Amino acid sequence: MNYHFYVGNDNGNSEHDLVVDGRLIQQPNVNCMVDELPWREEQSPESFIANLQDQLVVTVDSPAARPGMYYVGKFALESGEIIDNLQIGIDLKSDMDLPVVNTLAQIAAVAVQKAYEEEKAIPSTIDLEVDMATALPVTQHTDETSARFEKRFTSGTHHVTVHLGLHRVAVRITFPFVKAVPEATPVIFTLQRDASGNWREGDIFAEFVEAYGVGKKFNGSFFKDKRILHVDIGDGSTEYPITEGNRFLRQFVHGSHHGAGYAIEEALPEFKRLIHLPDSPRQFFSDVIKNPNHKYHARALKTLRRPLESQVKQIVQHVKKQLTKARNEIDLICVYGGGSILMRSVLYPHLKELCDEREIKLLYIPAEYAVELNATGLDAFVRGKIFSALKGKAAEQPA
């Protein structure tokens, strides 16, 4: 089996969101290295296909990461094993094995699913070529770090064994071209156009249209020449880049170590005390917060309120700093990212007041779109003309 995939890959501190061959995958961005398979008895390999992302076990042999067997994503989180995650405010993504391993695992899993869907049989081997757009935090993104991160994927063949119970599928992955861009900037592509390349419209803009009376025929063409201050709130950092049209303005690079993860880490000891758990990873707390039906949801929210207010206060100060630097010459503040959902009730009033007094519009992305915006933006970018031109230019360079 031979495939070519386009991948838009957003390696967040808490969640891994990536669009692989047109499919959006969302998993906790964690893994753990193990010595043996979790299954002892033979199970039908076909039974693993539908929910493969939730029970993902791979063996990775790659020039870019430590070789071994890994539980990935949700399966790692629920395994009870000691998990590896991105340490907020500490780890450089370009140097970590975790983003490489998890990216290879998720791409290989989709390849196995695609082969099964097309052939109605489990393949033994798959060869895969991948063109990928990924991102680094704006505070970590330099020519050097982006080149280093890209090279981890492009320099050699990655061998990934996907375990379907005791059955194995060997997936060989090569990356002809990878581009690492600053986080938040891909969002300009997905704000303007949908997956089909048409001007974007619909309920993602409903609140904005109602707040500013910009007309019922409003669509993504509105953003094509706007100066936008992005507030991309993640788990371990918030990025505040400024874009103009499709350009990233390098002179306004700014990010801070504030985000939902810091609030969660501050709330975690009290949460663990309330639910009588001596130890619990940050991602478990995140899952409880996201699930209103979880029995610990109310207690998690209660412990989180004050730490969230502290993080919001800091984020607002950084927004003001960027506005001052740009002399308030901003058309729009756009807020998104996983942390923006948790912070909305506290953050929205502060930013709305700030925008109103400085004659700036506020686009606070609805929860159902806030997390995936970077991944879908990267997917739009990897399929677009700019990526093709960059790939062509790279191919002309001497090796």
Instruction: Give pLDDT < 70 ranges for the chain.
Output: 87-91, 398-399
List the end-to-end C-alpha distance of the chain, in Å, as a whole number.
29
Neighbours of 261 (CB within 10 A): 28
d(CA 275, CA 344): 26
pLDDT score for 399: 57
Q: Which of 148, 330, 335 is nearest to 239 (CA)?
A: 335
Residue 81: Cβ-neighbour burial (10 angstroms; 0-12, 13-18, 19+): middle
- Cα separation, 100 vs 308, in Å, equals 31
Q: What is the pLDDT of residue 210?
A: 92
Query: Helix (H, G, I), strand (E, B), or coil: what is residue 255?
Result: strand
What pLDDT, on a 0 to 100 scale, did the predictor assign at position 90? 58
User: Residue 97: which of 66, 124, 122 has the closest Cα?
Assistant: 66
Pairing of strands 242-244, 247-248: antiparallel
Residue ranges in 282-335 assigned as alpha helix (H)? 282-290, 297-325
- Report pLDDT digits (tens) over 86-141: 765 556 788 899 999 999 999 999 999 999 999 999 999 999 999 999 998 887 88
CB 260 within 8 A of CB 343: yes
Q: What is the DSSP letter of 15?
A: E
* Cβ atoms within 10 Å of 92's Cβ, excluding its own: 13
DSSP states along 137-190: -TTT--HHHHHHHHHHHHSS-EEEEEEETTEEEEEEEEEEEEEEEETTTTHHHH
- The CA distance from 321 to 6, in Å, is 37
Q: In order of start, what are the domains of the chain with their CATH numbers?
A: 2-182 (3.30.420.40), 187-259+307-375 (3.30.420.40)
Query: Does an H or E element contain 369, and which?
Result: helix 367-370
Query: What's at 90, amino acid-wise?
Result: I
**Distant-in-sequence, close-in-space partners of 122: CB < 8 Å, separation ≥ 6:** 45, 46, 49, 112, 115, 116, 164, 167, 169
393 CB burial (10 A radius; 0-12, 13-18, 19+): exposed
Amino acid at 227: R
Tokens 């927004």 correspond to 319
User: Residue 229 and residue 327: Cα distance in Å, rounded?
Assistant: 12
Specify the DSSP class assigned to residue 203.
G
CB 303 within 8 A of CB 348: no
